[in-house]
Amino acid sequence: MPEHAAPGCGRAAMLTVAVAAVSGAVLALVLGLLLGRTRRAREGSTTPQALSFAGAAILGFFALFLGFSIAGTWQQLNSARQHTYEESRALTEAYWTAGGLSGADQPVVQERLRSYTRVVIDDEWATMQHGSGSQTAWQAIDRVRAAVDQATVHNQAEASARTDVLRSLSEVNAKRNARLGDLRASVPVLAIGGLLVGAVFVLATPSVIGLTSNPRNLVLMCFVGASVAFGVSMVAVMSGPFSGAVRVQPTAFQLALERYDQIDGDAGASALPPFRP
188: left (phi over 0), alpha (psi -120 to 50) or beta: beta
270 in Cβ contact with 50 (< 8 Å)? no
Domain membership flag for residue 2: no
Single out the residue of 198, 223, 185 nearest to residue 64, CA to CA. Answer: 198
Q: Name residues of the chain where pLDDT drops below 70.
A: 1-22, 24-25, 27-29, 31-51, 210-213, 267-277
Q: Which among 18, 16, 31 is positioned nearest to 222, based on CA atoms?
A: 31
The answer to whether the beta carbons of residues 148 and 109 sit under 8 Å apart is: yes
Report whether 1 contacts 13 (CB < 8 A): yes
Number of domain units in the chain:
1
Look up the domain containing 221 and give its range. 7-264
Region of 31 on the Ramachandran plot (φ > 0 left; ψ -120 to 50 alpha; else beta) = alpha
- Position 199 in a domain: yes
What pLDDT is stored for residue 207 in this prediction? 72
Cβ-based burial of 136 (10 A; exposed 0-12, middle 13-18, buried ≥19)? middle
- Is residue 1 included in any domain, yes or no? no
- pLDDT in the model for residue 16: 63
What is the predicted pLDDT for the residue at 59? Answer: 84
Q: Give the whole-angstrom CA distance, residue 51 versus residue 13.
A: 36
**Residues sharing a CB contact under 8 Å with residue 85, sequence separation 6 or more, in sequence order:** 252
| Predicted local distance difference test score (pLDDT) of residue 196 | 86
What pLDDT sits at residue 273? Answer: 43
Evaluate whether residue 28 is within a structural domain.
Answer: yes
d(CA 28, CA 20): 12
pLDDT for 2 equals: 43
